[in-house]
Structure 1
Amino acid sequence: MIKNLTVCTVLWTSLSSHVFATPGGTTDITVKLTAPKWEFLLKNIASGETQAQLDSSESSFAKELQPLLAAQDHKAIEQAFSERDIEQDSAALRQLRGQVLISLKQYSDAEVALKSALQLMPDLALAHRSLSMVYMVSKDYLKARNHLKKSIELGVADAQVYGQLAFVNLQLKQGASAIAGYQYALFLEPDNLQWKQGLLYALINAQAFSQAQALLEGMLMSSPDDAELWLQRGQLALKQGQSLQALSSLESALLLNQDANTTTDPNNIVTLAQLHIQSGSAQRAVELLDNNLSLFLATKSNQQDSSRFEVQPIDQICQWLVFNQRWQPLEQLLTALASYRKHTSSYFLSRFDVYRSKLALHKGDSMKAEKNLMGSVKADPTNGEALLTLAKLMHSKKRSAQAVQYYVRAQGLAAFKERALLGQAQLEIDRQKYADALRLLRKVIELNPTRQDILANIQSLNNLVRNES
């Protein structure tokens, strides 16, 4: 029989990305972790009643296979088995056929062969072990767990089996069982990084954050240059609301990737920028985005020669900069974005032009502000913020007719109707059309009865209208 016949790789993506609400922040932020590759060994270590023996008539065939197996001549091995009738083979040879098919990644055929082996010998431990591998690859975790449990009951209880069972239990949302399995696997193989990684995920999944933190700090002491561990430290810090620790961890991961000339996931750069924004270091946030804008370009797989620009988080940061009047970093970011206009959707082009108009107004350049706002409305006629800003600009330039036009357009957008009514009402007051202003303010009260502050204005306007009449 064969020892360490194959290594099977399973991708685990269920915990590769997490979204956390950060205390004090206005948006959720994300740490993107690389999906780990879990490599599980398939060993032939069964003994006694749980191990099948080849029939004497099969010994010559087994001898023919040995050099082929040693040479890993998969095609020749497959051909050799294809010439045999599985119904005439012993349990041992059926089991061997299943193992070979697993190594060839022919999992459906492997399942058939291994099940047929168990029909002849239900307690064939290695067949159960091999079947569990087949089901893990196909993500049929319930079946995989059943065969792993049977393997342990039959005496196959090495670190690999416990680690695999822990992995399966974690996929089945059995966090406590997963923790126990990984801990036992580590007890048997204390230096196995895969079991440590699995235990870390299990602890985080079970919200055992203090234990996860202790384990992670120990892993970082052994591997301080592992950028992925620093990302996980950042992820764990976010889970616990420790934004400064998350920020420092992600900065460490970014630096390590730069030193290794490794590309950092753009989602993590955005996350780091958001953390800097929340901590008050807006300039560093803008530098991060400015230096890495090209990473946000992604080609659409279903449209030839078409691309898109992932800018929603950058838009949110621009909003924050405008709201807090951080004009210098806003200008730096908008200047960097200008090179990517052709990769930006009309929706975001419109929004960024509004921010450019706000910057221009801050600088006292109303002509440039108007130009940007006109471009914004052209790119997205439903951009209420652009319509309102343009209306206010026209109002300030005494171009009342145009201002009313934009206020009316903004009133057609539910999210901006109240602000548009108030803006037009102020315009009518300024040009002493009190009856029109009164009519608009009454619409505001109908729309939002909680605006009791408007009632005093309505009363004053009522008095003015009466005096005029």
Structure 2
Amino acid sequence: MKSLLVFSIQFAVISSLLSAAEPLPLSKSYWKDDAFLKSFNGSYRINARIEPAVTTEERGLLVSIQTMMASGDRKGALAKLKSSSLIKTSPAVAFNAGNIQFELGEMESAAEYYQQALKVFPSFRRAHRNLGFVYARSEDWDKAMPSFEEALKLGDQDGSTYGQLAYGRMQKNQYASALQAYRLAQVTQPESIDWKAGIAQCLQHLQRNEEALALIEEVITARPDEVSYYLLQSSIQLSMDKVDDAMANLELVRRMGKLDADNHLLLANLHLRSGSSKLARPVMMAALEMEEKPPLTSALNVLEFTTQTQDWKLAREFADAMVKAWPEVKDVKLANKQKRLSALIDIDSAENPERGAATLAELIKNDPLDAASLILLARYRVTEKRNQEAEMLLQQAARIEGSEYEARVELAKLHVSGNRYEEALKQLDLALKIRPSEAVTSYRNAIEKLAEAAQ
């Protein structure tokens, strides 16, 4: 019956480790891609039909910096614009100064000049769009998206605008809207790899995995050195239960030396799930030895799953390695879980059950509402034939919200061991009201037959 309580843990652990739900980062080269540069550099051109009219004086100033711009002297051009009194009154001059600041990587100053241009001319479409680019580079999507949306309302049809808007919507988990924006981005920038990758990720979130997998394969072919695309492909493969393919993909990235610690643990967990502790062990240990360690939560989830496989040697080795990797855990909840799992290993491996029981007792003393420790200690007390104490511990756990189901199933097992079948049936009925289960129902039916036979 123990399996009734833990049968779903491997899937929960896989889900908690799967990190591809995060929106893919834009490629490092995106801001230098031809498609973006063509779009951005085109914004230097004056569009008098829909944007602020330029006076003869303003035009003369902008023409005067063209030679400097052509020779790459951005700082010289910016200095000349700043030295003119027009910088404070002309939206066109302020806008061009913002563009140069953007190219120089001075995002805060670029934003100030774009905002200045918009203050004078609120419907300046390109200023709205380029201000969105500033916020996007800073990953401030709450500010970036309204800027892009305003540019589109004013008639912008550029792929970079739609693509950035799509990426922002991905950040807010608006996958259907993001997909639509990505597809519009492809109309003017059909060869953009970032937009194709974005579409693939949207399709995955919308459970259109076959389409997503086909598209991400195209993306990887076009840009084979981008690690995030392999991770997305692995995520899609896991969604389709293609575990072997996902493992091969993660292993490829690991051999490239580009697999981060958290995804090391995902790979290790998949090896454990496939029954290969031998392959899992070096990957698990490597994750803890990396300079940028995985989240402690992820490591604890893998340790928990390792205990479910009952590979006690590996579980103890990994538990000890975790203590070395995190000699001090400030989060009390995580620290207690680590101690509890170590106690479980001590008891169920028979390595040092007395020490494990003492650890659990101490955890309960510090937190009487620690239901997991109450249940584990109760199980151990049963093995010691201390059934009365075990029953008290389980009754205490059954009063704690979220633990009623497991505690009542354990109580039923305890009652069965003492031939108290009617009491066992009552506990199982209470458990089934909390959570219907075919396995528990079958167990209950078997106990009912025992009860009838005993009469």
Give the TM-score normalised by the residue count of structure 1: 0.67
Residue aligning to 1:171: 168
Q: Does 1:317 align with 2:305?
A: yes
Tell whether the 8 Å contact from 1:321 to 1:330 is kept in structure 2 after alignment: no
Counting helix residues as a fraction of each chain, which structure ranks higher? 2
Per-residue CA deviations over 1:149-199 (Å, capped at 9, x if unaligned) read: 6454xxxx6xxx213213314534424533433432444xx3x54444444
Residue aligning to 1:412: 396
Per-residue CA deviations over 1:185-219 (Å, capped at 9, x if unaligned) read: 444xx3x5444444444554555544433333233
1:17-32 matches, within 5 Å, as: 25=11, 27-29=13-15, 30-32=18-20
Residue aligning to 2:212: 212
Q: For residue 331 of structure 1, report the CA deviation from its aligned partner.
A: 4.9
Distance verdict in 2 for CA 1:180–1:268, change over 3 Å: same
Tell whether the 8 Å contact from 1:404 to 1:424 is kept in structure 2 after alignment: no
Tell whether the 8 Å contact from 1:183 to 1:199 is kept in structure 2 after alignment: no
C-alpha distance in 2, partners of 1:219/1:294?
32
Look up the SS of the partner of 2:238 in the other structure. Answer: helix
Tell whether the 8 Å contact from 2:281 to 2:314 is kept in structure 1 after alignment: yes
Distance verdict in 2 for CA 1:418–1:35, change over 3 Å: same
> RCO (CA 8 Å, sep 6+): is it higher in 1 or 2?
2
Residue aligning to 1:18: none
Look up the SS of the partner of 2:19 in the other structure. Answer: strand
C-alpha distance in 2, partners of 1:240/1:207?
9
Tell whether the 8 Å contact from 2:375 to 2:407 is kept in structure 1 after alignment: no
C-alpha distance in 1, partners of 2:111/2:225?
41
Residue aligning to 2:435: none
Q: For residue 248 of structure 1, report the CA deviation from its aligned partner.
A: 1.3
C-alpha distance in 2, partners of 1:405/1:446?
23
1:70 to 56, 70, 73: 73
The residue identity in structure 2 corresponding to 1:165 is: Y
**What value does the CA root-mean-square deviation take over the aligned residues?**
4.2
1:44-55 matches, within 5 Å, as: 44-46=44-46, 49=49, 54-55=54-55
Give the TM-score normalised by the residue count of structure 2: 0.69
Residue aligning to 1:352: 342
Q: For residue 243 of structure 1, report the CA deviation from its aligned partner.
A: 2.0
Residue aligning to 2:286: 291
Tell whether the 8 Å contact from 1:107 to 1:134 is kept in structure 2 after alignment: yes
Aligned residue-pair number: 391
Q: For residue 349 of structure 1, report the CA deviation from its aligned partner.
A: 0.9
Tell whether the 8 Å contact from 2:304 to 2:341 is kept in structure 1 after alignment: no
The residue identity in structure 1 corresponding to 2:284 is: L
Residue aligning to 2:118: 115
1:326-337 matches, within 5 Å, as: 326-334=311-319, 336-337=321-322
Identity %: 15
Q: For residue 282 of structure 1, report the CA deviation from its aligned partner.
A: 3.4
Q: For residue 236 of structure 1, report the CA deviation from its aligned partner.
A: 2.0
Per-residue CA deviations over 1:378-424 (Å, capped at 9, x if unaligned) read: 234530342123212311xxxx4xx4224322321013543554465
C-alpha distance in 1, partners of 2:288/2:225?
25
Tell whether the 8 Å contact from 2:237 to 2:243 is kept in structure 1 after alignment: yes
Q: For residue 289 of structure 1, report the CA deviation from its aligned partner.
A: 1.2
Per-residue CA deviations over 1:57-81 (Å, capped at 9, x if unaligned) read: 4567558867698252698568536
1:126-275 matches, within 5 Å, as: 126-127=126-127, 129-133=129-133, 138-139=140-141, 140-148=144-152, 150=154, 152=156, 161-169=158-166, 171-172=168-169, 173=174, 174-187=177-190, 190=191, 192-204=192-204, 207-256=207-256, 258=257, 262=258, 264-275=259-270
Per-residue CA deviations over 1:216-235 (Å, capped at 9, x if unaligned) read: 32333344444332212112
User: Which structure: larger Rg?
Assistant: 1
The residue identity in structure 1 corresponding to 2:394 is: A
Q: Runs of 5+ in structure 1 lacking a partner?
A: 1-21, 300-306, 430-436, 464-469
C-alpha distance in 1, partners of 2:254/2:94?
51
1:387 to 377, 387, 396: 377
C-alpha distance in 2, partners of 1:23/1:46?
61
Counting strand residues as a fraction of each chain, which structure ranks higher? 1
C-alpha distance in 1, partners of 2:99/2:272?
54
C-alpha distance in 1, partners of 2:407/2:53?
82
Q: Runs of 5+ in structure 2 lacking a partner?
A: 1-7, 330-334, 433-440
The residue identity in structure 1 corresponding to 2:25 is: A
345-354 or 271-280, larger mean C-alpha shift: 271-280
